[in-house]
């Protein structure tokens, strides 16, 4: 787990520190090259299919974020450490982009036994989220949520850990995903300066689409 955390830290630092000097944001994750018609074609890492339920009992799938860029993160409602900091920073992102139809937020609980649909509804309202079409707090099968957080999905550590505060471990990363379900950046969701970079990169990513 320490090695995984170190790798994620390297990715976060590289992505957040290096993107501001580039015209286009990098595409992160595994890259494969396949031969198509005698030519090599690049296949990028993408977020796999998923199906969860949000605070309004609505099914959330990749279709929910069609033609949108979105921010993904992982949390749990009884988290005693970084989650309150993350949600305070995510509220800044929400307030900045909530009126943009090409933007969304996807927060996955890693404690679905406790964080039921009813709990997530109350949780979202307590932090001031009334437009649930923008910010989806989702719950579902625990193993599927954990699998989505691994190298096959968002590439961040999530899971149960009896030695961790609250009994769970998860990354504090905010993950920027583009309209093709590709990861375009990792940002420390507990730090205001990192979130400032994230918001700037959201603008840049949307500008990439508008310039095409």
SS3 173: strand
Give the domain extent around 131.
2-210
**Sign of torsion, CA 34 145 194 55?**
positive
Distances (CA, A) of 176 to 66, 84, 192: 14, 20, 16
Indicate the number of domains in the chain.
1
What pTM was computed for the model? 0.86
| pLDDT on residue 187 | 98
SS3 43: strand
Task: CATH number of the domain at 41, please.
Answer: 3.40.30.10
Local confidence pLDDT in tens for the 212 residues of the chain: 434 434 444 344 334 444 344 579 999 998 887 767 777 888 999 999 999 999 999 999 999 999 999 999 999 999 989 999 999 999 999 999 999 999 999 999 999 999 999 999 999 999 999 878 999 999 999 999 999 999 899 999 998 888 888 888 888 999 999 999 999 999 999 999 999 999 999 999 999 999 87
SS (H, E, C) 53-78: ECCCCCEECHHHHCCCEEEEEEECCC
Alpha-carbon span 26 to 83, nearest angstrom: 27
CB 105 within 8 A of CB 69: no
Which residues on adjacent β-strands are paired with residue 136? 106
């Amino acid at each position: 787990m320490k090695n995984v955390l170190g790798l994620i830290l390297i990715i976060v630092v590289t992505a957040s520190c290096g993107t501001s000097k580039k015209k286009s944001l990098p595409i992160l994750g595994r890259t494969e090259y396949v031969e198509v018609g005698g030519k090599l074609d690049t296949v990028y890492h993408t977020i796999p299919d998923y199906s969860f339920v949000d605070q309004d009992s609505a099914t959330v799938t990749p279709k929910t974020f069609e033609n949108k860029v979105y921010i993904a993160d992982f949390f749990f409602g009884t988290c005693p450490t970084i989650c309150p900091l993350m949600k305070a920073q995510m509220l800044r992102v929400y307030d900045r982009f909530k009126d943009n139809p090409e933007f969304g937020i996807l927060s996955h609980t890693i404690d679905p036994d406790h964080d039921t649909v009813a709990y997530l509804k109350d949780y979202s309202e307590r932090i001031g989220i009334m437009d649930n079409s923008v910010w989806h707090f989702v719950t579902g099968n625990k193993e599927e949520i954990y699998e989505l957080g691994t190298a096959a999905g968002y590439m961040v550590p999530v899971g149960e850990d009896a030695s961790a505060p609250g009994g769970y471990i998860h990354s504090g990363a905010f993950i920027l995903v583009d309209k093709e379900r590709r990861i375009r950046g990792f940002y420390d969701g507990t730090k205001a300066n990192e979130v400032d970079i994230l918001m700037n990169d959201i603008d840049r990513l949307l500008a990439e689409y508008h310039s095409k």
